Amino acid sequence: SVPVNLSFYERDDWGANASWNAQTKTVTLISGNSGSGIYTPSGKTIIYHELGHAISNAGQTSATSEDSAIDEAFSDIFTVFFNNHGVSGDAVDWDIGRGYSRTGEAIRYVDSPKRDGAVENIHDITPSMNPYQRGGFIRKMFYNLYNNLRASGFDKNKSLELSYMLFYDANEDWHKGMSFGDLTRSLYTAYMTSYTSTYNEKNLLNAMSDVGVSPEVQYKIYSKAGFVSRLKVVYYDYDGNFHEEFTPQVPVGQTAWVNVPMYASESVSISAQIDYYGFKDYHLLFPTPWVNQCVITWGTVFSPQAAIGSEKCDF
């Protein structure tokens, strides 16, 4: 459990009607003549959103960072789950803050983020967007997963529970400074750890692909040797098709990388290659599944070496 403090006070010209303070673990509710487009005092879904920050490990570092977008999106997902789970009927209330916007609309929408100016595909993010707008595709991913589970035969409450618990479990691996790539990897890892016997992974993969993301691991090569080298990565995709990927050629002191779908990383094999009579394989490696890893090459043309390591492997 996470102890949370609650404070309430009146103040005019305040930009919001509720806020979260991570340092003091406090949800603050404001009443007064708000200077923004939001009515005060706050409502249930807005309070749920602030409480969601209490259990998110993504943190908030800046208005332009990816972890802030993840943090805000997770709090909206938290809100939808606790506002709807156990409620009778098949309808789901996807709105955040309806009735508290002066426009008469909800403040945010989980089922249709574009209605509040957020993106529904990661490729639509622009530098000027705030965390709520940037994280719209995460809200949409949650909505997609819920719908996929409903189509698979689960009822409303079970679909909400499974969708939320996947994010909740993935949150164990979240941290300040995390990226959108970290998010997708953590979701897939949580699925493989706890849910493979509950529902087909295509429910998750399709929910991701519809918003422009996929769970990938990155294999990077760093050359310490006095020769040009590269990686050859071999794997089979979800449909059983064979893939052979190559990193660019890497001179000494340089790095290059290749992305591989996480669902293929359990059986992936890597050959480090040297540009010696036309790129010959000289070392075969089997990396740990689901983890970004770096291969270091060193030695000489006549005695090449390679190993999975951590040097120059900042991702």
Residue range 216-309 forms a domain whose CATH class is mainly beta
pLDDT at 71: 92
Residue pair 284/270 in contact (Cβ under 8 Å)? The answer is yes
User: Quick check: 182 pLDDT over 60?
Assistant: yes
Per-residue model confidence (pLDDT) at position 3: 63
Would you place residue 32 in the very low, low, confident or very high pLDDT band (cuts 50, 70, 90)? Answer: very low
Average pLDDT for residues 51-59, to the nearest whole number?
75
Q: Which of 153-175 are b and which e, b meaning 16 or more Cβ less than 10 Å from the residue's Cβ?
A: ebebbebbbbbbebbbbbbeebe
Mean of pLDDT values over 226-244: 90
The pTM for the full model equals 0.83
> How confident is the model over 254-303, as pLDDT tens digits?
999 999 999 999 889 999 998 876 788 888 999 999 989 999 998 887 88
How far does the chain reach from its first CA to its final CA, in angstroms?
32
Q: Which tokens go with 117?
A: 């100016």
Q: How far apart are CA 69 and CA 32, in angstroms?
A: 28
Q: Which fold has domain 5-209?
A: Neutral Protease; domain 2 (1.10.390)
Q: What are phi and psi of 156, to 5 degrees?
A: -60, -50
**pLDDT at residue 48, rounded to an integer:** 79
| Three-state helix/strand/coil letters over the chain | CCCCEEEEEECCCCCCCEEEECCCCEEEEEECCCCCCECCCCCHHHHHHHHHHHHCCCCCCCCCCHHHHHHHHHHHHHHHHHHHCCCCCCCCCCEECCCCECCCCCCEECCCHHHHCCCCCHHHCCCCCCHHHHCHHHHHHHHHHHHHHHHCCCCHHHHHHHHHHHHHHHHHHCCCCCCHHHHHHHHHHHHHHHCCCCCCCHHHHHHHHCCCCCCEEEEEEEECCCCCEEEEEEEECCCCCEEEEECCCECCCCEEEEEEEHHHCCCCEEEEEECCCCCEEEEEECCCCCCCEEEEEEECCCCEEEEEECCCCCC
Amino acid of residue 287: P
Instruction: Give me the chain's average pLDDT, please.
Output: 85
**pLDDT given at position 301:** 78
57-102, pLDDT tens digit by residue? 766 555 568 999 999 999 999 999 999 998 999 999 999 987 665 5
Q: What's residue 307's pLDDT?
A: 92
Residue type, 12: D
Please report, rounded to a whole number, the percentage of residues in the chain having pLDDT higher than 70.
80
Say if CB 187 and CB 204 are below 8 A apart. yes
Same CATH fold assignment for domains 5-209 and 216-309: no
Structure confidence at residue 131 (pLDDT)? 94
> What is the average pLDDT across 206-225?
94
The highest-confidence range among 15-19, 96-100, 169-173, by mean pLDDT, is: 169-173
Domain residue ranges of the chain, discontinuous segments joined by +: 5-209, 216-309
Q: What average pLDDT does this structure show over 14-28?
A: 57
CA-CA-CA-CA torsion sign (72, 73, 74, 75)? positive
Give the mean pLDDT of 213-230: 90
